[in-house]
Structure 1
Amino acid sequence: MPNKLVIYIHSGEPTQFSFAIVNGQNQLQNIHHHHDLLPQESFEEIIVIVPTEDILLTSVALPKMSRNRYQSALPFALEEQVIDDVEHLHFTAFDYQPDGQLPVAIVAHEKMAIWLQALDALSLKPTQMLPSVFALPYNEGQLQIIVESNILVRTGRWAGFASDRINFSQFLHALPVGSAPQEIEVLNFSDTSLAASQDSLFTYHEKFAASADFFPTLVQHALNSPGNLLQGPYAMKKTTLWRGDKLLKISLCLGVALFSLLFLYPTVSYFILKPKLTALNAGIKRIYQKQFPKSTAIVAPKLRLEEKLKKLAGGGDKGGLNQILSHLGQAMQTESNVKLKRFDFQNGQATIELTADSSEDFSTFTSALTNQGMLVKQQSANLVGTKINATIQVS
């Protein structure tokens, strides 16, 4: 299983790093303070711990929305809490809290660029970047304090601050009422006591540890920290392996979809077209039996109907089918508001059922037929709303 690399960027020294190699079981293997000593290998994860002094951890009340929407809304919701122009700042949101607050980390784009450029110069592509206070242990309702060159204080899952010794007391008293417990646990990696320099409002339980254990302590808790500043424009692309795996999955899905389509298309088409084919054959049978009532079977329907049509249209007289159809077409071009519903031709005479939008349209249509020399007889006419349903005979 590939190893993980944890990098600590020292406060005030953006190009001074400490490196820790952790195996797949999250066990610390080696610590290096020079990049040249790192083994030449690919790391499963590269976690970078950055100075909290350069980051503002705050929260804002926003209604629940998609990540893209609240990422766009954050600069405007928090512009009164920052001094710099919001265009110069990077806003990272974490998980919504039960009270509706959305925790946010704010850092200057300039700082992000400095850190990432320094890492890029070492050919290191981080997968996670988190404030150093997120590498402190977290216990609900407790303040976690670590003292080294500066003081790191974790006040909540997504909250905390960094301070020097001079201003620490002011930061502590500025915490919301009730958020600072009366008894405070302190893990001190320096030679100078923190409790001895503070007032008696709080009871400090201070433990001292070797300064060499400071970085391993951060590494231990950073491995389980979910916070990540690499969001939005700084989100890192997935590894080539992941992209290849995703491409393989997409190819398999497309292959399955194509196979399913090739199999299902004829089947679905059959079930869709089968009823239509049945209805079409039934219609052909009805027409055939009507025209050839003595026939017991349907034989060459197209050919026989064409032959009968030629006989009906033959002779060239004015009562021929072709001539009636020709005059009928010209009349319909004259009056487009007339629609044919049924046409029947028997013995040189056509019986036509039609619908006209108005009585004027009906009169115009019949007049057009009469003007072409056709004899028009009205059999029936009914007014339905504003439309006329009529039956006429034309010869």
Structure 2
Amino acid sequence: MLIVLLPEELQEDDQEALLVNWWHLERESGVREHGLDSLQTLKSRFAGQRLRALAPATSVSLYRLDMPVKRAASVRAALPFALEDQVSQDLELLHCVPGPRRSDGRLAAAVVETDRMDHWQALFESRQWRLEALVPLPVLHGGDTPEQGLLVRPSPWPSAAPQALITSRFEEPVLIEVGLLGLWLARRLSSLPEDERVVQASGFSKVDLGLEQNQDVIFTEVPAQVTVDKALEYCLQPNPPLNLLTGPYATTMAAPPWRKMRPVMVAAGVLLAVLLAQFSLEWLTLSRERDRLVAGIEAVFESSLPNSRMVQPVTQFRQVLEGNAPGSSANSSGELLHDALAVLAQTDSASIIQFRATPGELEIELQLASFAELEALRAGLASQPELQETLQGADSGSEGVTARLKVSRRKS
């Protein structure tokens, strides 16, 4: 799993200039490696890793609220009204997230500006990178609280200015800039009961915390240290509490469906490729066989009917065979051809280019010297009582006139 810490300030989405701190976690061995890189570099390097993000403490406010309602739907509906007196901004500009109930019975809640949520989500959507969870950074230390008072330690997290981590059993963890720590502690301690005005510090002296003049506060130094590795274990939970990706920003924590189906999809892709290759080979084989058969039919037609134009070879062969069959001499194409050629022979310049004969009609394509000869030929055919001619078309060219005539038996 990859964990990234979002920048404290909203920045322009520059593919390379926007740098984030990151940690690569393994469930058994903790942090394997960490560094500072751009999101684009991380996307290229850890594209297959699950991704979760940490919202900086300066961008998210954490609260504990008295919420008598128990049902989750009722808590979500009542949360904005419970926060109304504690936030200074318009609630419509805030994204409010309910969390778990703490040991004191109060409800933890997180509040963040909707503009920041939109900006953070846009960072990952522009890179087509799926973000599983977005957790406020201080929440990672929610389980490390003292039994009494406040526990103050240096923050282990990278930030623009040094920060201190303050935890207690009455409030949510807080990260405060060291320069503001004395003022914050004075205000916080004044709101605690006298028996809770205890400060345990690690890495800070009483002078550092501004408590040297405060006799009402019990100050003790403790060797407790906080580490990033231990805090990041919080992110390994299947559904980390106070995940900001709820409501309009919700995203499922489960792996995307296509990831589970990836082996099946790969197998289907291989099978489809094999079928396409087989289909292509069969199509190529059949195409070659078709071309071979067409060439064979043309060769047979040219040798059998050299002076005919091939239109429908099977029909033409059948018509020729039927016309030459015994008992059909009266209606054979031979007689029709004989009668037509007898008239054609009277025109000296007429030459036959090609013809198609059937028992009932004859189509002839002729080459003549002029339209006058064409009209004389038509007149000769029309003069035969048993013949009927029709001009199919005529074109003139440099070599004379090309005409197409259809000659048939005149119906009695």
Query: Under a length normalisation based on structure 1, what TM-score does the superposition of the two structures give?
Result: 0.51
* Map of 1:145 onto structure 2: 152
Shift of 1:181: 5.5
1:197 correspondence with 2:208: yes
1:236 correspondence with 2:239: no
**194-203 vs 72-81, which deviates more?**
194-203
Give the Cα–Cα distance (whole angstroms) in 1 for the partners of residues 187 and 94 of structure 2.
25
SS at structure 2 position matched to 1:159? coil
Shift of 1:235: 1.5
Shift of 1:170: 2.6
Shift of 1:93: 0.7
Whether the 8 Å contact between 2:104 and 2:170 is mirrored in structure 1 is: no
Give the Cα–Cα distance (whole angstroms) in 1 for the partners of residues 20 and 140 of structure 2.
16
* Cα gap change, 1:206 to 1:10, in 2 (>3 Å): farther
Which of these residues, 67, 82, 86, is aligned with residue 87 of structure 2? 82
Shift of 1:156: 3.6
Whether the 8 Å contact between 2:153 and 2:166 is mirrored in structure 1 is: yes
* Map of 1:182 onto structure 2: 198
Shift of 1:131: 1.7
Query: Under a length normalisation based on structure 2, what TM-score does the superposition of the two structures give?
Result: 0.49
- Deviations along 1:78-101, one digit per CA (max 9) or x if unpaired, are 212111111111111112346542
Question: In the TM superposition, what are the counterparts of 1:26-65 in structure 2 within 5 Å?
Answer: 26-35=29-38, 36=41, 39-44=45-50, 46-65=51-70
SS at structure 2 position matched to 1:53? helix
* Cα gap change, 1:240 to 1:96, in 2 (>3 Å): closer
Give the Cα–Cα distance (whole angstroms) in 1 for the partners of residues 19 and 199 of structure 2.
35
Shift of 1:122: 3.9
1:226 correspondence with 2:246: no
Whether the 8 Å contact between 1:133 and 1:154 is mirrored in structure 2 is: no
Whether the 8 Å contact between 1:184 and 1:203 is mirrored in structure 2 is: yes
Shift of 1:239: 4.2
Q: Which amino acid aligns with 2:3?
A: V
* Map of 1:342 onto structure 2: none
Whether the 8 Å contact between 1:145 and 1:151 is mirrored in structure 2 is: yes
* Map of 1:164 onto structure 2: 177
* Map of 1:25 onto structure 2: 28
Give the Cα–Cα distance (whole angstroms) in 2 for the partners of residues 21 and 30 of structure 1.
5
Shift of 1:216: 4.3
* Map of 2:9 onto structure 1: 12
Shift of 1:18: 0.9
Give the Cα–Cα distance (whole angstroms) in 1 for the partners of residues 247 and 3 of structure 2.
22
- Deviations along 1:268-294, one digit per CA (max 9) or x if unpaired, are xxxxxxxxxxxxxxxxxxxxxxxxxxx
* Map of 1:96 onto structure 2: 101
Q: Which amino acid aligns with 1:197?
A: D
SS at structure 1 position matched to 2:129? coil
Shift of 1:49: 1.5
Whether the 8 Å contact between 2:133 and 2:253 is mirrored in structure 1 is: no
* Map of 1:133 onto structure 2: 138
Q: Which amino acid aligns with 2:186?
A: H
Q: Percent identity?
A: 17
Give the Cα–Cα distance (whole angstroms) in 2 for the partners of residues 231 and 154 of structure 1.
26
CA RMSD of aligned residues (A): 3.4
* Cα gap change, 1:241 to 1:57, in 2 (>3 Å): closer
Give the Cα–Cα distance (whole angstroms) in 2 for the partners of residues 194 and 121 of structure 1.
46
Give the Cα–Cα distance (whole angstroms) in 1 for the partners of residues 124 and 152 of structure 2.
28
* Cα gap change, 1:182 to 1:34, in 2 (>3 Å): same
Shift of 1:128: 2.0
Structure 1 regions of 5+ residues with no counterpart?
Answer: 247-395
SS at structure 2 position matched to 1:75? helix
Shift of 1:123: 3.5
Whether the 8 Å contact between 2:100 and 2:242 is mirrored in structure 1 is: no
**How many pairs are equivalent?**
234
Give the Cα–Cα distance (whole angstroms) in 2 for the partners of residues 66 and 150 of structure 1.
37
Shift of 1:29: 1.1
Shift of 1:40: 3.7
Give the Cα–Cα distance (whole angstroms) in 2 for the partners of residues 114 and 55 of structure 1.
14
1:112 correspondence with 2:127: no
Shift of 1:227: 3.2
Give the Cα–Cα distance (whole angstroms) in 1 for the partners of residues 104 and 60 of structure 2.
23
Whether the 8 Å contact between 2:98 and 2:242 is mirrored in structure 1 is: no
Shift of 1:242: 5.3
